[in-house]
Each structure stands twice: as C-alpha cells, then as structure tokens.
Amino acid sequence: MAPSGSRSIKRGCQRVLYWIPVLFIALIVAWSYYAYVLQLCIESIEDTGEKVVYLLVYHVIFIMFVWAYWQTIFTKPMNPLKEFHLSHSDKELLEREDRGESQQEILRRIAKDLPIYTRTNSGAIRFCDRCQLLKPDRCHHCSVCDKCILKMDHHCPWVNNCVGFANYKFFMLFLLYSLLYCLFITATDLQYFIKFWTNGLPDTQAKFHILFLFFSASMFSVSLASLFIYHCWLVCKNRSTLEAVRSPVFRHGTDKNGFSLGFSKNFRQVFGDEVKYWPIPVFSSLGDGCSFPTCLVNLDPEQPSSPTGSNPLKC
C-alpha cells in the first residue's frame, strides 16, 4: 500500500477515535433524560404540580445545555486572516536565508505592518513553520487540528474541537448550563434518593435509575463546578488557559496582565456589549480574533495598534 494511502487510513481512524468522548457524553445525557423524565418525573412523582414544574424547568435547562454543547462542538475555529500569511515572494525570500537573524529581519519587516505585539521568549517574531504565517497575538498552533487557532485556549477532547476565539463563549455557556443541569437533577432527585434508602419507593426499576442518577449528577457537579470557576477566573483576568500556564511576552518583556482591561471590559471581550445575548449560545464576542486591546507598559512604536489604526488601551 502506498504511504499516502496508509496515512489517509490512519487519519480516518484518528478522526473516528476523536469522536468517542463526545459519543460517551451524548449517551450519558440521553440516559439522564430517560431516567429523569420517564423514570423519576412520570413514573415516581405522584404530585401533578411538582411533576409539571420539574419537567418545565428541566427542559429549559436541557435545551440551553444541548444548544451550547452543539455550538461548542460544531463551531469551526477561526484561523488567521490572509494578511498574516506569507506571500509567495516572502516565502521564497525566507527559504533562501539560512541564518536565523536574517530570517528574523524579514519577519520583522513583514510584522511592521501588522498589529502584532507579542513575541517568543527570546524576543523573536512568532512564526508558524507549518502554516507559514506570522502568528497574531494570542494565536497558537494546535497539533491535533494541525492549524493555527485564534486566541486558542485549549483543545478539548470532550467536544472534539479547539476552544478559541470563535467558540469560547459557547464553551463557557456549556460549562454553566451543564453545571446547572447536574445541580438541578441532584437537588430535585435528593428526596427520592433518600426514599430509596428508607424503602419509601416502590420496588421497580425506577428506583435504580433514581439512585444512579443522583450519584452521577452529584459527581459531575463537583468536576464541572471546579472547571467553571477556573474559567470564570480566566475570563475576569482576560487570559486563556495557555496564557495562565505561560504568560505572554511583549516587546518590553513578560506581562501576565498584558491583555487585562479590568473586570467589566474583560467580561465583555468574551460575551459582548449587548446583555440580551449573554446567556444565549450565539456569537457576540468583541473583535476579530486577530488583534486585541492591550494594557501595555511600553507600547511598541514600530507596530500598528490595530487594523483600524486606533491606539491600544493603556493602563
């Protein structure tokens, strides 16, 4: 078999395997729907008013949860604009140079016309060899997607997608609504869970669904709560997971708060200016993902501040 054919088969198998965590979550959610709606609400709860209220609230949370999860999975990550890609002539010029300093001179000349403020740890222009482009601020190459992702946070196997500028709001809402989903199930299932141990439930298969529903919802609540709180902290600081691990480097040096604009503006960077869109999984984040307002101590006089020519914010 030709090497290209074996590589195609390998990539195909990898794509299938990447969907296994998503399928696992989908099966858990499908079972929880069956256990809560049919086994708990319809079969076990006798009070009609309680049953109706539980079902109404449950389905509102369930719809928002599934909607946010769907958006996080199927929103295509945004890649750098064509302005950040090397032209054919620049590629040839870069390939002819074998010295690192000469290549950096070429990259600095190209970067002079782009809103790029971050550097590598050594102070060099951030360049992606695989994508042949100058990396915009907060952009990183994902080894799984094999692409440069704007404002990359992390690659999440549970959504089989990169979490970045295009879908970070959806990811936050997914964490929020999945946490509410688990907490609601835990709270409303608690009294029937207690009845299970006091023999207050009829001896049917529903009692075992009620038992495992409470255990699984409460355990997922703990892990989701910790993850959600962590990402809320990141939003408040205007940092990605990658930036929390390794602070961004600017021309003047490392600055972990380089993109922080204060709590309100940091929050609006992700959720947008219009309050009505905050709880809904529709895109409302500010900017284009290629340039960001900064809180720089020393501005780089050689760099344009943004595609529109406006100055970055100064602290």
Contacts with 254 (C-beta within 8 Å, 6 or more apart), sequence order: 247, 248
Largest CA distance in the chain: 80
DSSP 111-158: HTTS---EE-TTS---EETTTTEEPPTT-EEETTTTEEETT--EEETT
Structural tokens at position 62: 């369930």
The phi, psi pair for 249, rounded to 5°, reads -105, 125
What does the buried/exposed string (b/e) look like for 195-223 if buried means 16 or more CB atoms within 10 Å of the residue's CB?
ebeeeebeeeebbebbbebbebbbebbee
Catalytic residue among 41, 139, 156, 182: 156
The phi, psi pair for 290, rounded to 5°, reads -100, -25
Q: Rg (Cα) of the chain, in Å, rounded?
A: 24
Strand extents, DSSP E, the chain: 118-119, 127-128, 133-134, 140-142, 147-149, 154-156, 161-163, 249-250, 253-254
Rounded Cα distance between 128 and 158, Å, is: 27
Strand partners, 149: 140
- What's the CA angle centered on 290, arms 284 and 291, to 5 degrees? 90
Task: Let me know if 156 is a catalytic residue.
Answer: yes
Active site residues: 156
